[in-house]
Chain A
């Protein structure tokens, strides 16, 4: 069974540009969540999508957005990049069934974004 796939693995962008990152969840998983990891702030929740709908959003500016497609693949977009957006961006997928809390999260390898 293939794991969570994130593309690209590495990315260098210039300030002011925009970037789109992709996450393909494990087959059958409908929940995809995104996280930002920086040396200063650690891991922080960005947003979560389930069945093409954003269910939760973290405390990030509107420059950070995302979407999920009907095949559960998700993309996140950062517009008007700033130096502080340099980070490792991780996504995780999970299979949810009803209201069960016993759903494991499986993480991708991440996309390392460097803004210069």
Chain B
């Protein structure tokens, strides 16, 4: 079993729909990241969470530390949101100023049709 599980693997939506991508993890973490990757490879960090909820524009990320679960929501989805969304967890405690080992989920391929 992978340490980080994402669902669904693939998601197709119509423009305007509300999207939810889920991430479950099995290890203790210090933070969880949601990343976006467009074709061509570049990765953009959308959110970093250690508790609660964050919102940026149409994107909302939540995390439940007790249940080891996080969700990424996209409201009013748009074709430009089409990308791979990756959940990554940062494990271990900071020591000496840095500990940036990330473990990644397999990603969710989102396609938003006009």
Query: Which residues from chain A contact B106 at a C-beta distance below 8 Å?
Result: 42
Check B97 against A43 for contact (C-beta < 8 Å).
Answer: no
Interface centre among A31, A37, A103 (most CB of B within 10 A): A103
B52 at interface (Cβ–Cβ under 8 A)? no
Kindly identify which residue among B100, B103, B105 contacts A48, using a CB–CB cutoff of 8 Å.
B100
Check A94 against B100 for contact (C-beta < 8 Å).
Answer: yes
Given the known inter-chain contacts A33-B100, A43-B104, please indicate yes or no for A105 contacting B48, CB distance below 8 A.
Answer: yes
Check A33 against B88 for contact (C-beta < 8 Å).
Answer: no
Which of B13-21, B38-46, B64-72, B74-82 is the contact stretch? B38-46
Min CB distance A60 to B, Å, is: 13
Check B41 against A88 for contact (C-beta < 8 Å).
Answer: yes
Check B98 against A55 for contact (C-beta < 8 Å).
Answer: yes
Given the known inter-chain contacts A33-B101, A55-B98, A101-B90, please indicate yes or no for A109 contacting B50, CB distance below 8 A.
Answer: no
Check B48 against A104 for contact (C-beta < 8 Å).
Answer: yes
Per-residue B-contact encoding for A94-115, CB less than 8 Å = 1, 0 else: 1011111111111111101000
In the docked arrangement, what's the CA distance between A97 and B98, Å?
8
A7 at interface (Cβ–Cβ under 8 A)? no
Chain A interface secondary structure, helix, strand, loop or mixed?
Answer: strand
Check A50 against B97 for contact (C-beta < 8 Å).
Answer: yes
Query: Which residues from chain A contact B105 at a C-beta distance below 8 Å?
Result: 42
Check B41 against A101 for contact (C-beta < 8 Å).
Answer: no
Min CB distance A53 to B, Å, is: 9
Check A56 against B104 for contact (C-beta < 8 Å).
Answer: no
Check A56 against B99 for contact (C-beta < 8 Å).
Answer: yes
Check A92 against B48 for contact (C-beta < 8 Å).
Answer: no
B112 at interface (Cβ–Cβ under 8 A)? no
Q: For window 28-78 of chain A, which residues contact chain B by CB distance below 8 Å?
A: 30-31, 33, 35, 37, 42-45, 48, 50-51, 55-56, 58
Check B98 against A106 for contact (C-beta < 8 Å).
Answer: no
Check A90 against B48 for contact (C-beta < 8 Å).
Answer: no
- A: residues with CB less than 8 A from B are 30-31, 33, 35, 37, 42-45, 48, 50-51, 55-56, 58, 88, 90, 92, 94, 96-110, 112
- Which 3 A-B pairs have CB atoms at the shortest separation, nearest pair first? A50-B98, A43-B104, A107-B43
